[in-house]
């Protein structure tokens, strides 16, 4: 039972990244690979500042800022240099590997003797329930703020930019600025996922972000399937489904491990799962 609770907890930590990928993939139709670098960047800044005796709460603004800056850099390369969005993300993600390694100073930093964000609330005797409560509250606040933002006039302009850039351009909206802001918000959320995961697993590793975009994409695709199935129009409902998709994705991976699959094959299992999620709707379309 505790094994699956751990999977749920990890899904909660990664759900902030899923919200970020939802913004880039489903609102702006931008395949943003910066995720791999900004996720690690958030974890790296968390490790460095916590070991420097910063409080877990004071680290949050710094993590949000560096994540947003990574997104802004990708956005500027894409919009100002007219480089494909996918390539822009790859360039920034590759550069961030060196930046992360330089900041961290070594490949791995343990966080065993620092006070993390998960140690402040302890209404339950079982520590994993306390961690889950903290994770739920943290993600609920993020999702509420993001949902409110997307329902404002500015948020509607962002969504309209992704749906029809020619229409928004005719209305006087600067599409380039909207894309840059969207990428900044998305990578800010991704960095917060790195912040949470680093503290939950009590270490930061320079390679922890490799392939993490696939995990986020799988979560978003699960949520997107439910959104289309029930024809959800509410932004809040769509965000909630994406959050649930993140937890479900981790539960499926946990079940895979529990039935005896070699942990070394976990990345392969993850890619196969995402492939299945993507291909099943297309196979149904072909049969129809």
pLDDT at 231: 87
Q: Check if the beta carbon of residue 152 is closer than 8 Å to that of residue 165.
A: no
**What sign has the CA pseudo-torsion 224, 228, 229, 231?**
positive
User: What does the DSSP 8-state code read for residue 203?
Assistant: E
pLDDT at 287: 60
Q: Check if the beta carbon of residue 225 is closer than 8 Å to that of residue 281.
A: yes
Which has the closest alpha carbon to 193: 149, 246, 245? 246
Q: How far apart are CA 134 and CA 130, in angstroms?
A: 6
Helix (H) or strand (E) holding 222: helix 212-230
Backbone angles phi, psi at 109, to 5 degrees: -130, 120
- The most distant pair of C-alpha atoms in the chain lies apart, rounded to whole Å, by 60
Which ranges in 52-174 belong to alpha helices (H)? 56-80, 85-104, 127-151, 153-163, 165-170
pLDDT at 278: 73
CB-CB neighbours of 57 under 10 Å: 9
Q: How far apart are CA 12 and CA 54, in angstroms?
A: 24
Half-sphere exposure of 34 (CA within 13 A, CB side): 37
pLDDT tens for each residue of the chain, 288 residues long: 778 889 999 999 999 999 999 999 999 999 899 999 999 999 999 999 999 999 999 999 999 999 999 999 999 999 999 999 999 999 999 999 999 999 999 999 999 889 999 999 989 888 888 999 999 999 999 999 999 999 999 999 999 998 888 999 998 999 999 999 999 999 999 999 999 999 999 999 999 999 899 899 889 988 888 888 888 889 999 999 999 999 999 998 888 888 888 888 888 888 888 888 777 766 666 665
Distance of CA 69 to the CA centre of its chain: 15
* Residues facing 108 on adjacent strands: 205
Q: How far apart are CA 78 and CA 218, in angstroms?
A: 25
pTM of this prediction exceeds 0.85: yes
pLDDT at 286: 60
């Amino acid at each position: 039972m505790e094994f699956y609770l751990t999977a749920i907890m990890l899904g909660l930590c990664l759900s902030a990244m899923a919200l970020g990928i939802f913004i880039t993939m489903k609102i702006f139709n931008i395949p943003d690979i910066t995720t791999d670098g900004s996720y690690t960047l958030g974890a790296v800044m968390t490790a460095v500042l916590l070991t420097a005796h910063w409080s877990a709460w004071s680290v949050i603004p710094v993590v949000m800022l560096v994540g947003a800056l990574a997104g802004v850099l990708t956005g500027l390369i894409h919009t100002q240099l007219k480089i494909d969005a996918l390539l822009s993300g790859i360039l920034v993600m590759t550069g961030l590997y060196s930046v992360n390694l330089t900041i961290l100073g070594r490949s791995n930093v343990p966080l065993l003797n620092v006070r993390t964000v998960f140690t402040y609330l302890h209404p339950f005797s079982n520590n994993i329930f306390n961690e889950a409560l903290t994770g739920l509250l943290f993600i609920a606040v993020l999702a509420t703020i993001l949902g409110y933002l997307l329902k404002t006039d500015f948020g509607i302009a962002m969504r309209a930019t992704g749906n029809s850039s020619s229409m928004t351009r005719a209305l006087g909206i600067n599409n380039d600025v909207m894309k840059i802001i969207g990428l900044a918000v998305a990578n800010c959320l991704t960095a917060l996922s790195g912040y949470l995961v680093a503290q939950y697993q009590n270490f930061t590793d320079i390679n922890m972000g490799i392939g993490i975009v696939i995990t986020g994409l799988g979560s978003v695709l699960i949520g997107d399937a439910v959104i289309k199935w029930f024809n959800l129009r509410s932004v809040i409902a769509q965000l909630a489904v994406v959050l649930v998709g993140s937890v479900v994705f981790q539960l499926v991976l946990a079940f895979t491990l529990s039935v005896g699959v070699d942990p070394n094959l976990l990345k392969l299992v993850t890619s196969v799962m995402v492939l299945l999620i993507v291909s099943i709707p297309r196979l149904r379309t072909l049969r129809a």
